[in-house]
Amino acid sequence: MFTREYAKEMDKQDNLSKYRKEFYIKEGQIYLDGNSLGLLSKRAEASLLNVLQSWRDNGIDGWTEGDNPWFYLSENLGEKMASLVGAGKEEVVVTGSTTSNLHQLVASFYMPNGNKTKILADELAFPTDIYALQSQLEIKGYNHRTHLLKAISTDGHFLKEEDIIKEMTEEIALIVLPSILYRSGQILDMKRLTKEAHKRNIIIGFDLCHSIGAISHELSAWGVDFAFWCNYKHLNGGPGSVAGLYVNKQHFGTKPGLAGWFSSKKDKQFDMEHQLTPEKNAGAFQMGTPHILSLAPIIGSLSMFNEAGIDNIRKKSLMLTSYMQELIKEELAPYNFVIRSPKEDEKRGGHLFLEHPEAARICKALKANNVIPDFRSPNGIRIAPVALYNTFEEVWLTVQKLKGIMEEEQYKQFENIRGVIA
């Protein structure tokens, strides 16, 4: 399995290989940063151009005319995205950004009452989640240093569900956790955590930024209260693409904490009343006018995901990361790399996380060798072989290039500090 011929044979057996030609891939480059920004597909480009043409041809009538009327686009895309998170079609809407959606959902579902006033997160969370939770606590008049609790990681890489559950005390009003940890790629047991939270009458939501488009979910069946995510990573929606949110139907009718024009029922919105009549589904948690040109690429991208099937995507993703793990162990053993991602398939998301004291330099050397990874301070290298456009041969080549970088000490040409964008 450690030969290039083996990798090529795996590619021949790949039933998703046809999708690679649908993406713009720079010749000679191996792109392994799809967990930060997915590549542009021809379908996403076409759907963007289609919406631009609708603007050109229809002007303001594009809100209700054309192939994808803008007035209903957030809801229509939510319906198409619902299967990726295991939700009903009215439980998902494509809107906002990761951070604005988190603010909206916490403003809507964080209801301190009596001694139940604290929010539980985790110490490995992506910073924007923590910033938003701190802000929401302060808006409600609480000190985030005392009221934002963080489940502790014993090793700095993984979280144990048991440790999170221990923090679900009578003081917790709301829990916000990642579905997949952005560094190690560990998948949390969302079903178990939701069940335990609900036993204690606690609302729980998840950040799906690193899981949507990479693994399957069953949010509605698990009873998850809410979720939010970006669409520019595994879903290839483009830089700054509009994000998404999920609200369990049991919460339909909850007043949006941050109301705006697009929170309104569609048939009431243009009555111009100063009394909001909120939509009776996830659409109520929209705020302002949707960013149509940043929604447009998602139309094309989603068509590919629904065609390929998330289960097929997940199967290949696991095969790619498993193969890469084995190659790293075989080829890079002398060079002090430590794999900090879960070894078990069921616990590993769509990327690998390698630690090395010279990580920043090594990332720069990889780029000089036409391999695009992702650096995470202080000493982490994230590598994401993406099922729809990466190959087993690319995985093999990447490890060989990495071996060459270490053998020849190519990394010493670079400073061991991150760039402005890591």
Note the pLDDT tens digit of each residue in 376-393. Answer: 999 999 999 999 999 999
Q: Does residue 294 sit in the same domain as residue 390? A: no
Where does the pLDDT of residue 308 fall: very low under 50, low under 70, confident under 90, or very high at 90 and above?
Answer: very high
User: How many C-beta atoms lie closer than 10 Å to residue 40's C-beta?
Assistant: 20
* Statement to judge: residues 155 and 252 lie in one domain: yes
Average pLDDT over residues 281-288: 98
Could you tell me the CA-to-CA distances from 217 to 190, 331, 336, 340, 420 in Å, in that order?
A: 9, 34, 35, 23, 34
The answer on pLDDT for 416 being more than 90 is no
pLDDT at position 145 is 97
Report how far residue 220's alpha carbon sits from residue 74's, in angstroms, rounded to the nearest whole number. Answer: 20
Asked if residue 295 and residue 329 are part of one domain, the reply reads no
Same-domain status, 296 and 315: no
Answer whether residue 422 is part of any domain. no
Residue 377 belongs to domain with CATH number: 3.90.1150.10
Residue 89 domain-assigned? yes
Q: Please tell me whether residues 15 and 162 are part of one structural domain.
A: no
Task: Please give the residue range of the domain that contains residue 220.
Answer: 46-307
Average pLDDT of span 320-340:
97
Question: Has residue 41 been placed in a domain?
Answer: no
- In this prediction, residue 417 has a pLDDT band, given cuts at 50, 70 and 90, of confident
Residue 317 sits in the same domain as residue 381: yes
Residues 6+ apart with CB under 8 A from 143: 137
Closest to 42 measured CA to CA, from 54, 25, 28: 25
Cα distances from 123 to residues 65, 148, 155, in angstroms, run: 47, 11, 11
Distance CA 103, CA 421 (A): 25
CA–centroid distance for 413 within its chain: 34
Q: Is the domain of 303 the same as that of 316?
A: no
Dist. CA 90–CA 248, nearest whole Å: 9
Backbone angles phi, psi at 394, to 5 degrees: -65, -40
Q: Which of 277, 307, 337 is the endpoint of a domain?
A: 307
Pairing of strands 374-376, 380-383: antiparallel
Q: Residue 55 is encoded by which pair of tokens?
A: 């603007």
| DSSP code of residue 267 | T
Regarding whether 204 and 97 lie in a shared domain, the answer is yes
Number of structural domains, the chain? 2
Taking CA 98 as the corner, what is the angle to CA 25 and CA 184, rounded to the nearest 5 degrees?
Answer: 65
Taking the C-alpha atoms of residue 158 and residue 155, their distance in angstroms, rounded to an integer, is 7
Instruction: Could you list the residues known to form a binding site, using ranges.
Output: 98-99, 126-129, 207, 210, 232, 261, 289
Q: What is the DSSP letter of 215?
A: B
What is the C-alpha separation between 282 and 235, in angstroms, rounded? 20
Residues 159 and 290 in one domain: yes
Q: Alpha-carbon distance 106 to 226, whole Å?
A: 10
What is the rounded distance in angstroms from the CA atom of residue 204 to the CA atom of residue 248? 11
Q: How many CB atoms lie within 10 A of CB 147?
A: 20
Judge contact between 133 and 148, C-beta under 8 A: yes
pLDDT above 90: residue 132: yes
User: Mean pLDDT over all residues of the chain?
Assistant: 97
pTM: 0.97
The DSSP element (H or E) to which 338 belongs, if any, is strand 338-339
Instruction: Locate 356 and state its tokens.
Output: 């090395």
Where do the DSSP E strands lie in 104-224? 118-122, 148-151, 172-178, 203-207
Compute the distance between CA of residue 221 and CA of residue 88 in angstroms, rounded to an integer. Answer: 10
Residue that terminates a domain, selected from 253, 280, 307: 307
Alpha-carbon distance 396 to 271, whole Å? 60
Q: Is residue 178 part of a domain?
A: yes
Residue 421 above 80 pLDDT? no
CA nearest to 296, candidates 16, 40, 51, 22: 51
Task: Answer yes or no: is 418 within a domain.
Answer: no
3-state secondary structure of 45: helix
> H/E element holding 19?
none
**How much is the CA Rg of the chain, to the nearest whole Å?**
22
Contacts of 118 (CB under 8 A, 6+ apart): 147, 148, 149, 171, 172, 173
Residue with tokens 């024009």: 261
Residue 93 maps to a domain: yes
| Beta strand 203-207 pairing with 226-229 | parallel
Instruction: Give the contacts of 199 (CB within 8 A, at least 6 positions apart).
Output: none
Asked if the model's pLDDT at residue 156 lies above 80, the reply is yes
Domain limit, last residue, from 289, 307, 325: 307
- 353 within some domain: yes
Q: Check whether residue 189 and residue 199 sit in a common domain.
A: yes
Positive or negative, the CA dihedral 221, 316, 179, 188 is positive
Can you give the pLDDT at residue 225? 99
What CATH code is carried by the domain that includes residue 186?
A: 3.40.640.10
Same domain, 171 and 217: yes
Do 231 and 241 meet the contact criterion of CB atoms below 8 Å apart?
yes
Give the model's pLDDT for residue 419.
Answer: 80
Residue 25 covered by a domain: yes
Same domain, 303 and 318: no
Extract the annotated binding site for pyridoxal 5'-phosphate: 98-99, 126-129, 207, 210, 232, 261, 289
pLDDT in tens, 11-47: 999 999 999 999 999 999 999 999 999 999 999 999 9
